[in-house]
């Protein structure tokens, strides 16, 4: 990133994952319907393979964006926090959704970030086959690496349908994960402030 006073800077972010094969996914869904004793040629199911394949493509493909930063000329040195960012992902163990909210904050150093980009970074890693613990750490690590702030904090609260619809069927239960970097991890006062502002009270 440019040094202080270097003006606006934008890093074009692409997900860099292998391409999604819609045709292969559609064939796989048709095979799955047959395995479940269903007839893919049934008028009610005829378009289901295409719809399911397209749905997974959308859920697994993050949008490209520019990570826009600006010089911190005013020397702002307090937390910047975006709360209740919607998050949706797919459990890699059962391919069922988990969904909830993310709280993402950082303590600026020489650069500040366009606020909408915090939600974009969450989406970048959420649109994948995931586990919540990894997702939380990926967001924190990526922001620490690309923005170089004094610290980063991420909390995700989510309900997992693989837990609420099957297995123990614990509907309404929420899993909370956190990842901290820099001063948000090492400074007890800053850490406490972050959790107080996110109402997660750790």
Which of 92, 99, 133, 192 is an active site residue?
A: 92
Which of 91, 103, 110, 144 is an active site residue?
A: 91
Give catalytic status of residue 12 as yes or no.
no
- Answer whether 139's CB lies under 8 Å from 122's CB: yes
Strands of the chain, DSSP E? 9-13, 65-71, 80-91, 97-107, 111-113, 129-130, 151-160, 175-182
Which of 93, 99, 133, 192 is an active site residue?
A: 93
Give catalytic status of residue 110 as yes or no.
no
CB atoms under 10 Å from CB of 63, counted, come to 11
What is the CA angle 88-34-89, rounded to 5? 5
Phi/psi-derived region of residue 38, left when phi > 0, alpha when psi is between -120 and 50, beta in every other case: beta
Give catalytic status of residue 138 as yes or no.
no
Round to the nearest angstrom and report the end-to-end CA distance of the chain. 32
Give catalytic status of residue 162 as yes or no.
yes
Which of 110, 130, 132, 138 is an active site residue?
A: 132
Which of 15, 88, 159, 162 is an active site residue?
A: 162
Give catalytic status of residue 94 as yes or no.
yes
Q: Report the C-alpha gap between 144 and 181 in whole angstroms.
A: 7
Pairing status of strand 175-182 against strand 151-160: antiparallel
Active centre residues (catalytic): 91-94, 132, 160, 162
């Amino acid at each position: 990133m440019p040094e202080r006073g270097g003006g606006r800077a934008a890093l074009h972010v692409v997900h860099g994952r292998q391409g999604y094969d819609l045709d292969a996914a559609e064939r796989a869904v048709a095979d799955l319907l047959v395995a479940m004793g269903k007839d893919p040629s049934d008028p009610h199911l005829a378009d289901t393979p295409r719809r399911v394949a397209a749905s997974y493509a959308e859920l697994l493909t993050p949008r490209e964006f520019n990570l826009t930063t600006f010089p911190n000329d005013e020397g702002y040195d307090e937390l910047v926090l975006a709360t209740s960012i919607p998050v949706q992902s797919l459990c890699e163990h059962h391919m069922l959704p988990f969904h909830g909210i993310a709280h993402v904050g950082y303590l600026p150093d020489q650069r500040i970030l366009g606020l909408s980009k915090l939600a974009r970074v969450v989406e970048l890693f959420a649109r994948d086959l995931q586990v919540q613990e990894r997702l939380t750490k990926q967001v924190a690590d990526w922001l620490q690496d690309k923005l170089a702030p004094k610290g980063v904090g991420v909390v995700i609260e989510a309900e997992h349908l693989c837990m609420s619809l099957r297995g123990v069927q614990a509907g309404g239960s929420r899993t909370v994960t956190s990842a901290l970097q820099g001063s948000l991890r090492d400074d007890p006062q800053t850490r406490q402030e972050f959790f107080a502002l996110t109402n997660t009270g750790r």
